[in-house]
Amino acid sequence: MNEISLMAEEHYQRLQQRNADDVKVLWDLLDAVKDPEVPALSIWDLGILRDIQCNGDQIVIIITPTYSGCPAMDNIRTDVIQCLNDNGYADVTVNMSLSPAWSSEWMSPEGRTKLRQYGIAPPEDAELDADGLTPDAHAACPHCGSRNTHRVSEFGSTACKALFQCDDCGEPFDYFKKI
Amino acid sequence: MSDQMKNALLEYTTRLGDDAVVLGHRISEWVSYGPFLEEDIAYGNVALDYIGRARMFYTYAAELADDGRDEDDFAYMRNDREYHNLLLLELPKGDFAYSQVRQLFADVYYTLMLPQLLQSKDERLAAIAAKAIKETKYHLRRSRDWVLRLGEGTDESHRRAQKALDQLWGYTHELFDMDETEQLLADADIGVDVSKLRDDWLAMVTEIVTNATLSVPEDSWAVRGGRIGYHTENLGHMLTEMQIVHRSHPGCKW
């Protein structure tokens, strides 16, 4: 299957920011920090990592939650500090930023591919309903690619996902909701 | 900012946190009691959204109070009289129809209220609203679909949904009350003038309820008092359960 990945404007802006940053090495190091709920994705892939500020030896990392009650945030905070400490950066603070609110558009194209390989359909693998929400059918199955699928539940194993089942291969799968 | 305005903002932010944690806790009581597994998970998700919202409001309130308290102190170390949540949200979960009708009332309310809060001149409140709006869209679709399904379902589900509407209606009036604190903030474009939301709320609820072949109750009684700490007996019981671990093991960390 040929995949033509169009980059969302939001992601393009993030990429520009990352590449232009003086501390690109820190961005690269933090690629090692994964979302504990979706370990296939780094916090960069998910768009949770928003900014890195350096003031001498002081490093401030800005992260944003996907959903208000995302229980992974506390773990991610600890993992970020651990990761940078292990690499010789002692003075690390992690701040949470709420605005602008996280959008699934911020996910990187690599992240979307990794999600599929992990068995989760990314947001663009379903056509949204008229309200812009998860449809009740036809999200592409990440296992066999079939569109012959139906929604089992609007809310899945974590706040960011809905649950689908494939009517061809029979496998249930998570769909990463668009917000 | 004047002291009067600062106190009002602290009170307002705490109220919004109280609303969120109380409803979040009530919804969480459904976990492991849902009618089927997926619905159980859905309820868990919605509860988490509200508890996350409460954390954001309480964290901000703690910063405003600047007296050494943190978000946990707000949630776990205040008594029922210090909670200023809407009464509707503290009522026990009841049966499934009761919880879904309450959820519909709340979801329609937040669908109207949050876009107004997004316009707040207070950046923190606006930022919290921006996150919550996205989640509420999903909440409303679920509670609306359930009310339609219960109303148009069996005689039993219809009867229970109508009973829930009748029992809860008198608690909805308080949602649109303004007091001095909220008026001060609304006039300063910081808080929401909820009294202006009533007509739209009624129109949206009426449409959904009518489509579900249920009837909108008449306005025959109204209960008020949550915003000044006068509660139904239910909140005390709820807080006892919610706060006991924290209070029994002060300062304990995982």
Is the pLDDT at A153 greater than 60, yes or no?
A: yes
Percent of chain A with pLDDT over 70: 97
pLDDT of residue A58: 94
Residues of B (101-140) whose Cβ lies below 8 Å from A: 123-124, 126-128, 130-132, 134-135, 137-138
pLDDT at residue A4 tops 70: no
**B144 in reach of chain A (CB within 8 A):** no
Is residue B139 within 8 A of residue B105, CB to CB? The reply is: no
| pTM score | 0.88
A134: closest chain B residue by CA: B138
Question: Tell me, what's the pLDDT at B81?
Answer: 97
Residue numbers in A near B52 (CB within 8 A): 65, 67-70
Q: Tell me if residue B37 falls in helix, strand or coil.
A: helix
Q: Could you tell me which residues come within 8 angstroms of residue B139 by beta carbon, excluding any fewer than 6 positions away?
A: B46, B49, B103, B107, B110
3-state secondary structure B156-196: HHHHHHHHHHHHHHHHCHHHHCCCHHHHHHHHCCCCCCHHH
Q: Domain B3-248: what homologous superfamily?
A: Ferritin, core subunit, four-helix bundle (1.20.1260.10)
Q: Nearest-CA neighbor of B104 among B27, B40, B38, B51?
A: B27
Q: What gap in Å lies between CA B102 and CA B165, rounded to an integer?
A: 8
Q: Report the first-to-last Cα separation within chain B, whole angstroms.
A: 39
For residue A92, the model assigns a pLDDT of 96
Identify the CA nearest to A75 among candidates A97, A99, A94, A100.
A94
Q: How far apart, in whole angstroms, are the C-alpha atoms of residue B113 and residue A120? A: 34
B21: exposed, middle or buried (C-beta count within 10 Å: 0-12, 13-18, 19+)? buried
Beta-carbon separation of B48 and A67 below 8 A: yes
Tell if the CB–CB gap between B135 and A68 is shorter than 8 Å. yes
pLDDT tens digits for B24-82?
Answer: 999 999 999 988 888 888 999 999 999 999 999 999 999 999 999 999 999 999 999 99
Spell out a b/e string for A40-71, using b for 16 or more CB atoms within 10 Å of the CB, else e: bbbbbbbbbbbbbeeeeeebebebbbbbbbbe
Q: How many angstroms separate the CA of residue A2 from the nearest CA in chain B?
A: 33
The values of phi and psi at residue A116, to 5°, are -60, -45
- Kindly give the parts of chain B with pLDDT less than 70: 254
Query: What is the distance between the alpha carbons of residues A128 and B2, in angstroms, rounded to a whole number?
Result: 47
A99–B137 C-beta distance less than 8 A: no
Chain B residues whose CB is inside 8 A of the A177 CB are 138
In chain B, residues 51-70 whose CB comes closer than 8 Å to chain A: 51-53, 55-56
Q: ipTM surpassing 0.85, yes or no?
A: no
Asked if A70's CB is within 8 angstroms of B38's CB, the reply is no
Residue owning tokens 């194209």: A109
When pLDDT is cut at 50, 70 and 90, the band that residue A160 belongs to is confident
Query: Best interface-test mutation with A: which of B16, B46, B107, B138 has the largest number of A CBs within 10 A?
Result: B138
Residues A41-70, mean pLDDT to the nearest whole number: 91
Q: What structural domains and CATH numbers belong to chain A?
A: 9-106 (3.30.300.130), 119-176 (no CATH)
Q: B131 CA to chain A: closest CA distance, Å?
A: 5
The helix/strand count (H/E) of chain A reads as: 5, 7
CA distance B50 to A171: 31
pLDDT of residue A15: 87
Rounded Cα distance, A21 and B112, in Å: 40
Closest Cα of chain A to B120: distance in Å?
A: 13
Partners of residue B130 in chain A, C-beta under 8 Å: 98-101
| d(CA B45, nearest CA chain A) in Å | 5
Predicted confidence (pLDDT) at residue A5 exceeds the cutoff of 60: no
